[in-house]
A and B are shown apart, each in its own frame.
Chain A
Amino acid sequence: MATETLTGAQALIRSLELLGVDTVFGLPGGAILPTYDPLMDSKKLRHILVRHEQGAGHAAEGYAAASGRLGVCIATSGPGATNLVTAIADAHMDSVPMLAITGQVNSFSIGTDAFQEADIVGITMPITKHSFLVTRAEDIPGVVAAAYEIATTGRPGPVLIDFAKDAQNGKFEFSWPPKIDLPGFRPVTDPHGKQVQAAAELILKSHKPILYVGGGVIRADASKELLALAELLHAPVTTTLMARGAFPDSHPQQLGMPGMHGTVPAVTALQKSDLLITLGARFDDRVTGDIKSFAKGAKVIHVDIDPAEIGKIRHADVPIVGDAKVVILMLIAELKAQMKDSKPDYEDWWIFLKGLKERYPLGYSEPDDGKLSPQYVIQRIGELSGPEAIFASGVGQHQMWSAQFIKYERPNSWLNSGGLGTMGYAVPAAMGAKVAQPDRLVWAIDGDGCFQMTNQELATCTINNIPIKVAIINNSSLGMVRQWQTLFYNSRYSNSDLNTGTDTIMVPDFVKLGEAYGCLAIRVEKVEDVDAAIKLAMETNDRPVVIDFIVGRDAMVWPMVPSGISNDAVQYARDAAPIWDGDE
């Protein structure tokens, strides 16, 4: 094998190039400087200089979530590395394939409390899929290749590599491909045939099945297969917050999102079902509510690539460990073989579900204060942008409304922080998504609270010609906090006012802030201006756009199941529970 003498830093850049990485988001500092030098010469790697390392982390996540490819971020040691922590934890919760590269002090200084030294491998142990500390240049190609393999194979997740400065500076004979030595890493992708057979039998015996679809279907790129399975069975489908877009919202079998702010049909269908066909979902508490009363009458088929998810929260009658795409294809073949020419009959089930869909569609009432209805704004953004666009959201009310009122037709079109619930995700994630998919329209739908956490990346967007559109759903408060304070704390609004509304001191003024960052920035307060503003944003591609939508602050997210309560108690609107036909 031909070799070449390289420094560790050169080897790191070369390894990333050889692995097909084309973009890295980062910010240099002392301990990573050796790597930034050869990075400058790379023809294949585009480095995007962020304004805060958390932005680099979320941008890498957005890049990965929009494209399905590995997202990469770089930071220096100490505070640079710790600033990545939130994004790494976020990627861990939402199974995002991510590589975090950090500089570390010289190996001989590790442990001496040297300048900008932090034990980032130790800090990130519980929030990474794996992490490496590299102290020798010659280990770099093998470790980088192993990290790539771990981050992208099986259940995806973040991997961190901490490079001591002397490892970056050391010279060695580089050769490619390196030997990847991971004897303890053997993800199972092909399921047991017997389990698939058992699942098919259970499905054909059921009368009230539901496909409970999670983010794993998106990560496994199994949407097409899911559609085929759903149509073969003619079973209802619910897509979790992480799976919005995994199954088209326009499809008549789609019931919408389940969980705390799920649709009445989806929440109720899960509760009344006799079989949950669980695909890449993990029975999150925001989906199940009180677990003891969740879907009590249902048997469970649980398909997941991570064996630890199966049986973690809910017992699985038929556990299937495997890649969602492979499992669904096998299940379709098995069902066809078992069904012969007959189709399962779910007519009574559908009569019940269709009744729910008719009686309890998603809706909202206009705010009393005459301001814009946030749901309307979000719905119009979705309608005017269409299903080929990408929508990234922050966390809170606007996130739930974006999950509810935008119609998703394809996977990877909805990006959000589901598991960790990271405020500030939207702007940098949208930036990463736009870099990964430059031809798509990319929206960050953000709250006035979230936006103030990471908006400095608008500088990155303007300077690097990344024309994202930011819609601030400005209710002048931490909206979801306010909603809970209204409902559960006697309307005592402890520390949830942000003073960003037009009837406040308006600090900051988001239009001025957007302009300061070189964006086209406008404010919208009237319903008749909403469409024109959205269209203006869509037509403006020479710079980012910020629209400050002033919305009513008392709008609430409905339906809602209060935290820790049975999903049977879903409320359609405040103090309005669905009315059952007396049979329950």
Chain B
Amino acid sequence: MSTQHLLSLLVENKPGILTRVAALFARRGYNIESLAVGTTEIEGVSRITVVVSLDGQPLEQVTKQLNKLINVLKIVELEEETSVARDHMLVKVRTDSSTRSQVLEAVTLFRARVIDVVSDAVVIEVTGNTAKCQAFLKVLEPFGIKELVQSGAIAVSRGSKSMSEKVIR
């Protein structure tokens, strides 16, 4: 049985680093569920958050292989209990005068936000963990989802410690 793991990688912001990381997953036969990349509080250091479905032994192997990449500075697995993770999602939903109020009600219930409205559609943004986003989508489905875009999970550990501590010499 494989389970989902959320890995956080601090990497040097060098050309090709995303290719190296993604290619390593592909070459070793692991599927990436989601991937999010951005800069961090340290100049020249980026953070890659990757969700991957694996069981224990391959997870150790993929972590070790990632660690061998010269531009990878640090890898941690963020556990659900000790970290917070968020997905960000934009959904374009079909609406008309008869369904709009129902859609807006769902938006309120899920603490989502409408960011664009036209006569036959609305664009909604929602932030939350994967389960919440999936639940929200299920509610919207009957109205007709015209377009969906997701950011991939980003995550940070709880508490005051920072992942980048002791990374930079």
Q: Which residues of A are at the interface with B, using a C-beta cutoff of 8 A?
A: 121-122, 125-126, 129-130, 133, 150, 182-185, 306-308, 311-312
Contacts and interface: CB of A to CB of B under 8 A. Distances in A.
A183 B12 contact: yes
A185 B12 CA distance: 11
Nearest to A131: B16
B23 A126 contact: yes
B60 interface: yes
A183 B15 contact: no
Contact of A150 (B12, B16, B19, B70): B70
Nearest to B66: A308
Contact of A308 (B20, B23, B64): B64
Nearest to B68: A308
Interface in B1-42: 11-12, 15-16, 19-20, 23-24, 27
Contacts of A184: 11-12, 69-73
Contacts of A306: 68
Interface in B127-146: none
B67 A307 contact: yes
A126 B21 CA distance: 10
Interface string B41-67: 000000000000000010011001101
Contact of B60 (A183, A185, A311): A311
B169 interface: yes
Given A183-B168, A184-B72, A308 B27 contact: no
Interface of B: 11-12, 15-16, 19-20, 23-24, 27, 57, 60-61, 64-65, 67-73, 167-169
24 contacts: A121-B16, A122-B19, A126-B23, A126-B27, A129-B68, A150-B70, A182-B70, A183-B12, A183-B73, A183-B167, A184-B11, A184-B12, A184-B69, A184-B70, A184-B72, A184-B73, A185-B70, A306-B68, A307-B64, A307-B67, A308-B61, A308-B64, A308-B67, A311-B60
Contact of A125 (B20, B61, B72, B167): B20
Contacts of B169: 183
Contacts of B72: 184
Contacts of B67: 307-308
Contacts, number: 43
Given A126-B27, A184-B11, 4 more contacts: A121-B16, A129-B68, A182-B70, A183-B73
A382 to B, nearest CB: 37
A543 B105 CA distance: 89
A311 B20 contact: no
Nearest to A150: B70
A308 B65 contact: yes
A311 B57 contact: yes
Contacts of B71: 184
A185 B169 CA distance: 12
B131 to A, nearest CB: 33
Contacts of B19: 122, 125
Contacts of B65: 308
Contacts of B15: 133
Contacts of B27: 126
A438 B88 CA distance: 65
Contacts of A125: 16, 19-20, 23
Contacts of B68: 129, 306, 308
A110 to B, nearest CB: 11
Contacts of A183: 12, 73, 167-169
B121 to A, nearest CB: 38
A312 B58 CA distance: 8
A373 to B, nearest CB: 43
A200 B64 CA distance: 26
Nearest to B11: A184
B56 to A, nearest CB: 11
Nearest to B14: A132
Contacts of A150: 70
Contacts of A312: 61
Nearest to B12: A184
Nearest to B10: A184
A130 B12 CA distance: 14
B22 to A, nearest CB: 10
A89 B126 CA distance: 46
A547 B69 CA distance: 45
B91 to A, nearest CB: 35
A519 B125 CA distance: 76
Contacts of B24: 126
A157 to B, nearest CB: 10
B122 to A, nearest CB: 40
B67 to A, nearest CB: 7
A182 B14 CA distance: 12
A133 B14 CA distance: 10
A386 to B, nearest CB: 40
Contacts of B57: 311
A183 B44 CA distance: 12
Contacts of A122: 16, 19
Nearest to A306: B68
